[in-house]
Protein backbone atom coordinates (compact mmCIF):
# COMPACT_ATOMS: atom_id res chain seq x y z
CA UNK A 1 0.00 0.00 0.00
CA UNK A 2 1.56 3.17 -1.17
CA UNK A 3 0.20 6.63 -0.65
CA UNK A 4 -0.04 9.18 -3.40
CA UNK A 5 2.43 12.02 -3.00
CA UNK A 6 0.70 15.38 -3.08
CA UNK A 7 2.48 18.66 -3.65
CA UNK A 8 0.71 21.02 -1.23
CA UNK A 9 1.66 24.14 -3.17
CA UNK A 10 0.14 22.71 -6.35
CA UNK A 11 -2.95 21.58 -4.46
CA UNK A 12 -3.41 25.09 -3.03
CA UNK A 13 -3.05 26.64 -6.48
CA UNK A 14 -5.54 24.21 -8.00
CA UNK A 15 -8.04 24.96 -5.20
CA UNK A 16 -7.66 28.71 -5.88
CA UNK A 17 -8.15 28.15 -9.63
CA UNK A 18 -11.31 26.17 -8.97
CA UNK A 19 -12.64 28.94 -6.74
CA UNK A 20 -11.93 31.57 -9.43
CA UNK A 21 -13.64 29.41 -12.06
CA UNK A 22 -16.70 29.01 -9.83
CA UNK A 23 -16.87 32.77 -9.19
CA UNK A 24 -16.50 33.48 -12.92
CA UNK A 25 -19.35 31.09 -13.69
CA UNK A 26 -21.56 32.86 -11.16
CA UNK A 27 -20.68 36.26 -12.66
CA UNK A 28 -21.42 35.03 -16.18
CA UNK A 29 -24.83 33.83 -15.06
CA UNK A 30 -25.51 37.06 -13.18
CA UNK A 31 -24.14 39.70 -15.57
CA UNK A 32 -23.40 37.99 -18.85
CA UNK A 33 -25.46 38.86 -21.90
CA UNK A 34 -24.69 38.09 -25.50
CA UNK A 35 -23.82 40.83 -27.95
CA UNK A 36 -27.16 40.26 -29.71
CA UNK A 37 -29.02 40.84 -26.44
CA UNK A 38 -27.09 44.06 -25.75
CA UNK A 39 -27.66 45.31 -29.30
CA UNK A 40 -31.37 44.56 -29.12
CA UNK A 41 -31.66 46.36 -25.78
CA UNK A 42 -29.83 49.43 -27.15
CA UNK A 43 -32.10 49.51 -30.20
CA UNK A 44 -35.22 49.30 -28.03
CA UNK A 45 -33.97 52.13 -25.79
CA UNK A 46 -33.15 54.29 -28.80
CA UNK A 47 -36.58 53.62 -30.34
CA UNK A 48 -38.28 54.52 -27.04
CA UNK A 49 -36.28 57.75 -26.80
CA UNK A 50 -37.20 58.74 -30.38
CA UNK A 51 -40.85 57.99 -29.70
CA UNK A 52 -40.78 60.09 -26.54
CA UNK A 53 -39.10 62.96 -28.42
CA UNK A 54 -41.75 62.66 -31.13
CA UNK A 55 -44.48 63.26 -28.57
CA UNK A 56 -42.85 66.28 -26.97
CA UNK A 57 -44.18 69.78 -27.49
CA UNK A 58 -41.58 72.23 -28.67
CA UNK A 59 -41.92 75.99 -28.13
CA UNK A 60 -42.70 76.53 -31.84
CA UNK A 61 -45.36 73.76 -31.78
CA UNK A 62 -47.80 75.53 -29.45
CA UNK A 63 -50.50 75.62 -32.07
CA UNK A 64 -50.79 79.41 -32.22
CA UNK A 65 -49.58 79.58 -35.79
CA UNK A 66 -46.04 80.52 -34.85
CA UNK A 67 -47.01 84.01 -33.73
- The answer to whether position 14 is within a domain reads yes
Number of domains in the chain: 1
Please state, in angstroms and rounded to a whole number, the distance separating the CA atoms of residues 27 and 17.
15
Q: Domain range holding 17?
A: 8-54
- The answer to whether position 67 is within a domain reads no
Please state, in angstroms and rounded to a whole number, the distance separating the CA atoms of residues 65 and 59.
11
- The answer to whether position 3 is within a domain reads no
Predicted local confidence at residue 63, as pLDDT: 56
- The answer to whether position 63 is within a domain reads no
Higher pLDDT, 62 or 42: 42
- The answer to whether position 29 is within a domain reads yes
Predicted local confidence at residue 3, as pLDDT: 86
Model's pTM, two decimal places?
A: 0.47
Q: Which of 30, 29, 49, 51 is nearest to 41 (CA)?
A: 49
DSSP labels, the chain: --PPP--HHHHHHHHHHHHHHHHHHHHHHHH---HHHHHHHHHHHHHHHHHHHHTPPPGGGSSSTT-
Q: What is the mean pLDDT of residues 20-37?
A: 91
- The answer to whether position 64 is within a domain reads no
Amino acid sequence: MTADIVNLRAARKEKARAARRAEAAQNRAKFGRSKAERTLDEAQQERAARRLDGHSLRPDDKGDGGV
